[in-house]
Amino acid sequence: MNFNYKWNFREQSAKIDKLVLEHIRKKWEKWDWRIKNTRDKNKYKIVDYQYRTRKIMYGLVTYKRRIYEYFDEKLQKWVRVCLVDEWL
């Protein structure tokens, strides 16, 4: 007997994992966008964009993030931070 199923879990699981990774990437970039719009604009200034790869249960997620710079009064120098990484 030969069953010709259109849906096979082994074939579809890789596609499902890709969809989950894409959804997580979009969600993290959306959080970065929200932080950009709600930050203290006098304190934090956008300096650069970078890509970061994080490992999660479904695989590797590469997302775009903003790098900010602010002046630290204690250290008396400019410090670079990524606010979305601190939030995650």
Dihedral-angle region of residue 82 (phi above 0 means left; psi in -120 to 50 means alpha; beta otherwise) = beta
Does residue 1 sit within a domain?
no
Q: In the prediction, which pLDDT does 1 show?
A: 46
Does residue 44 sit within a domain?
yes
Question: For the whole model, what pTM was predicted?
Answer: 0.76
Does residue 51 sit within a domain?
yes
Does residue 2 sit within a domain?
no
Q: Count structural domains, the chain.
A: 1
Does residue 13 sit within a domain?
yes
User: Distance between CA 65 and CA 33 in Å, rounded?
Assistant: 9
Q: Is the pLDDT of residue 65 over 90?
A: yes
Structural domain of 31: 9-87
DSSP structure class, residue 32: H
DSSP per residue, 37-55: HHS-TTT-EEEEEEEEEEE
The more confidently predicted of residues 52 and 87 is: 52
Does residue 14 sit within a domain?
yes
Q: Is the pLDDT of residue 58 over 90?
A: no
3 confidence band (pLDDT: 50, 70, 90): low
> Which residues partner with 53 through β-bridges?
62
